[in-house]
Structure 1
Amino acid sequence: MPPTIRSRRTHRLLAAAAGLATVGALAAAMPASAHQDGATPSHHHGSGRYQDVQLLSFNDLHGNLEPPTGSSGRVTELQADGTTKTVDAGGVEYLATHLRDARKGNKYSITAAAGDMVGASPLISGLFHDEPTIEALNGLDLDVTSVGNHEFDEGAKELARLQKGGCHPTDGCYDGKKFKGADFPYLAANVTDEKTGRPILKPYWVWKKNGVKVGFIGVTLEGTPNIVSAEGVKGLKFGDEVETINKYAKELQRQGVKSIVALIHEGGSPASTAYNYDCDSPGAGDGISGPIVDIAKNVTPAVDALITGHTHQAYACTIPDPAGRPRMVTSASSFGRLYTDTTLTYDRWTGDIARTAVKSANHVVTRDVAKAADMTTLITRWKALSAPIASRPLGYIAGDIGNTGTESPAGDLIADAQLAYARSVDPEADLAFMNPGGIRAGLTYAAGGGEGDGVVTYGEAYTVQPFANTVNLVDLTGAQVITALQQQVSGANEASPKILQISKGLTYTLDLTKTGAARVVADSVKLDGTAIDPAATYRVAMNSFLAGGGDGFAELGKGGNVRVGEDDLAALGAYLTANSSTTAPYPVPAADRITVVK
Structure 2
Amino acid sequence: MRTPLRRRIATAACLALTALVAAQPGMAQAQPREDPVDVQLLSITDFHGYLQPLNDAANGTVKDAQGNSIVVGGAAYVATHLNNLRAGHRNSITFSTGDNFSGWPTEVAYHADEPTIEFLNRIGVDFTTVGNHELDISLEFLRDHMGKGHCFGQIDLDSCFTDSSGRRFHGADFAISTANITRKGSDRPLLQPYVIKHVTAGHRQIPVGFINLTTPTTVTGSTSYQPQLDNLALVQTANRYAAELRRRGVKAIVANIHEGGTAGDVYDRCTTNPTGPVFDFAKAASPDIDAIVTGHWHALFNCSLPDPDGNPRPVVEAANHGRLINEINLKLDPRTGEVIRSATTSVNHPVTRDVTPDPEMVKLVDHWKSRGAQTYARPVATISADITRVRDADGESALGNLAADAQYADSRRTPGGGADLAMVAVAPAKGSASLRGDLRHAKGADPADRDGTVLFGEAWAAFGYANPVLTVSVTGTQLDQALEQQWQAQPNGSTRFAPLAVSDNVRYSYDATRPIGERVDPADVLINGRPLQTDRTYRLAALAYTLIGADGYTAFTGYTDAVRGSRDYEAFRTYLAGHETVTPPALDRATALH
Structure 2 length as normaliser, TM-score? Answer: 0.67
Q: What letter corresponds to residue 251 of structure 1 in structure 2?
A: E
* Counterpart in the other structure of 1:584: none
Per-residue CA distance 1:76-109 (angstroms, 9 max, x = gap): 31343xx443x33211111111111111111111
* Counterpart in the other structure of 1:422: 404
Per-residue CA distance 1:387-432 (angstroms, 9 max, x = gap): 223257999xxxxx9xxxxxxx9xxx99984345326898x98963
Moved over 6 A (4+): 392-395, 413-416, 423-426, 428-431, 434-444, 449-452, 471-476, 483-486, 524-528, 538-542, 559-566
* Counterpart in the other structure of 2:77: 94
Task: Determine whether 1:187 maps to 2:177.
Answer: yes
User: For the structure 1 residues 348 and 473, does the alpha-carbon distance in structure 2 shift closer, same or farther, using more than 3 Å as the test?
Assistant: closer
Distance, in Å, in 2 between the alignment partners of 1:67 and 1:467 is 22
Distance, in Å, in 1 between the alignment partners of 2:355 and 2:434 is 29
The DSSP-based 3-state class of the residue aligned with 2:219 is helix
Per-residue CA distance 1:53-96 (angstroms, 9 max, x = gap): 1111111111111213434532231343xx443x3321111111
Task: Determine whether 1:200 maps to 2:190.
Answer: yes
| 1:139-158 aligned within 5 A | 139-158=122-141
Compare 371-380 and 248-257 and name the one that shifted more.
371-380
Q: What letter corresponds to residue 404 of structure 2 in structure 1?
A: A
Q: What letter corresponds to residue 489 of structure 2 in structure 1?
A: T
- In the alignment, structure 1 segments of 5+ residues that lack a partner are 1-46, 396-400, 402-408, 487-505, 514-519, 580-598
User: For the structure 1 residues 450 and 102, does the alpha-carbon distance in structure 2 shift closer, same or farther, using more than 3 Å as the test?
Assistant: farther
Q: What letter corresponds to residue 217 of structure 1 in structure 2?
A: I
* Counterpart in the other structure of 2:534: none
* Counterpart in the other structure of 2:259: 266
Task: Determine whether 1:344 maps to 2:344.
Answer: no
* Counterpart in the other structure of 1:122: 105
Distance, in Å, in 1 between the alignment partners of 2:297 and 2:570 is 26
User: For the structure 1 residues 365 and 164, does the alpha-carbon distance in structure 2 shift closer, same or farther, using more than 3 Å as the test?
Assistant: same
How far residue 204 of structure 1 moved from its aligned partner, in angstroms, is: 0.7
Per-residue CA distance 1:457-480 (angstroms, 9 max, x = gap): 865875784516349798765656
* Counterpart in the other structure of 2:45: 59
* Counterpart in the other structure of 2:556: 555
Compare 363-372 and 165-174 and name the one that shifted more.
165-174
Aligned-residue CA RMSD (Å): 4.6
Provide the aligned length of Structure 1 versus Structure 2.
474
Per-residue CA distance 1:533-581 (angstroms, 9 max, x = gap): 376358898743246647696825638999979945775998xx999xx
Identical residues among aligned pairs (%): 31
Distance, in Å, in 2 between the alignment partners of 1:482 and 1:532 is 8
Are the equivalent residues in 2 in contact too, given 1:476–1:559 (CA < 8 A)?
A: no
Distance, in Å, in 2 between the alignment partners of 1:557 and 1:235 is 17
| 1:389-408 aligned within 5 A | 389-391=375-377
Compare 295-304 and 470-479 and name the one that shifted more.
470-479
Are the equivalent residues in 2 in contact too, given 1:189–1:219 (CA < 8 A)?
A: yes
Per-residue CA distance 1:274-319 (angstroms, 9 max, x = gap): 323x32xxxx432x21111211111000001111111111111233
* Counterpart in the other structure of 2:206: 212
Compare 243-252 and 128-137 and name the one that shifted more.
128-137
Q: What letter corresponds to residue 198 of structure 2 in structure 1?
A: K
How far residue 376 of structure 1 moved from its aligned partner, in angstroms, is: 2.1
The DSSP-based 3-state class of the residue aligned with 1:209 is strand
User: For the structure 1 residues 569 and 168, does the alpha-carbon distance in structure 2 shift closer, same or farther, using more than 3 Å as the test?
Assistant: closer
* Counterpart in the other structure of 1:592: none
The DSSP-based 3-state class of the residue aligned with 2:353 is coil
Are the equivalent residues in 2 in contact too, given 1:52–1:344 (CA < 8 A)?
A: yes
Compare 186-195 and 351-360 and name the one that shifted more.
186-195
Distance, in Å, in 2 between the alignment partners of 1:117 and 1:465 is 20
Task: Identify which of 128, 137, 141 aligns with 2:120.
Answer: 137
How far residue 252 of structure 1 moved from its aligned partner, in angstroms, is: 0.5
* Counterpart in the other structure of 2:303: 317
| 1:511-550 aligned within 5 A | 511=491, 529=512, 531-533=516-518, 536=522, 543-546=542-545, 549=548
Task: Determine whether 1:507 maps to 2:506.
Answer: no
Task: Identify which of 233, 246, 265 aligns with 1:240.
Answer: 233
* Counterpart in the other structure of 2:29: none
Distance, in Å, in 2 between the alignment partners of 1:331 and 1:186 is 19
Are the equivalent residues in 2 in contact too, given 1:118–1:150 (CA < 8 A)?
A: yes
The DSSP-based 3-state class of the residue aligned with 1:49 is coil
Task: Identify which of 174, 180, 191 aligns with 2:161.
Answer: 174
Per-residue CA distance 1:149-180 (angstroms, 9 max, x = gap): 11111111111124542342224332495432
Distance, in Å, in 2 between the alignment partners of 1:224 and 1:512 is 36
User: For the structure 1 residues 570 and 527, does the alpha-carbon distance in structure 2 shift closer, same or farther, using more than 3 Å as the test?
Assistant: farther
Are the equivalent residues in 1 in contact too, given 2:424–2:543 (CA < 8 A)?
A: no
Distance, in Å, in 1 between the alignment partners of 2:106 and 2:301 is 29
Structure 1 length as normaliser, TM-score? Answer: 0.67
Distance, in Å, in 2 between the alignment partners of 1:439 and 1:60 is 24
How far residue 258 of structure 1 moved from its aligned partner, in angstroms, is: 0.7
The DSSP-based 3-state class of the residue aligned with 1:76 is strand
Q: What letter corresponds to residue 327 of structure 1 in structure 2?
A: R
The DSSP-based 3-state class of the residue aligned with 1:311 is coil
Are the equivalent residues in 2 in contact too, given 1:115–1:147 (CA < 8 A)?
A: yes
Q: What letter corresponds to residue 219 of structure 2 in structure 1?
A: P
Compare 413-422 and 191-200 and name the one that shifted more.
413-422
How far residue 196 of structure 1 moved from its aligned partner, in angstroms, is: 6.5
Task: Determine whether 1:432 maps to 2:414.
Answer: no
